[in-house]
């Protein structure tokens, strides 16, 4: 699912944390890349009924990648 993303900086890649959007409807935790202000991720509906909901804005947490130098 393509969803709009919100970041704290100019993050290009990051993590989306798992979150319950509605009872029985979950945003998948995933590693994402932001393209044109949006990310591709999964939303899982564990109920047996169709659910209509407003499109959530996904919070993306920047990855902290350490650099190791060679000695």
Helix (H) or strand (E) holding 65: none
Let me know if residue 11 belongs to a domain: yes
Q: Which residue has the higher pLDDT, 28 or 64?
A: 28
pLDDT at 70: 52
Q: What is the pTM of this model?
A: 0.74
Token pair, residue 19, equals: 């979150």
Let me know if residue 50 belongs to a domain: yes
42-59 confidence digits (pLDDT tens): 999 999 999 998 888 999
Contacts of 14 (CB under 8 A, 6+ apart): 7, 31, 32, 34, 60, 61, 62, 63
The count of other CB atoms within 10 Å of the CB of residue 34 is 19
Residues 1 and 14: their CA atoms lie apart, in Å, by 16
Question: Quick one: pLDDT band at residue 60, thresholds 50, 70, 90?
Answer: very high
9-25 confidence digits (pLDDT tens): 666 889 999 999 999 99
Let me know if residue 68 belongs to a domain: no
Let me know if residue 71 belongs to a domain: no
The total of structural domains in the chain comes to 1
Q: Which domain range does residue 55 map to?
A: 2-62
pLDDT at 1: 86
Q: What is the DSSP letter of 63?
A: P
Let me know if residue 23 belongs to a domain: yes
């Amino acid at each position: 699912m393509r969803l709009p993303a919100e970041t704290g900086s100019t993050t290009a890649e990051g993590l989306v944390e798992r979150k319950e959007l509605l009872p029985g409807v979950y945003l998948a935790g995933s590693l994402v890349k932001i393209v044109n202000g949006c990310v591709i991720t999964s939303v899982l509906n564990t109920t047996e009924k169709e659910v209509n909901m407003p499109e959530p804005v996904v919070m993306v947490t920047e990855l902290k990648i350490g650099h190791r130098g060679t000695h």
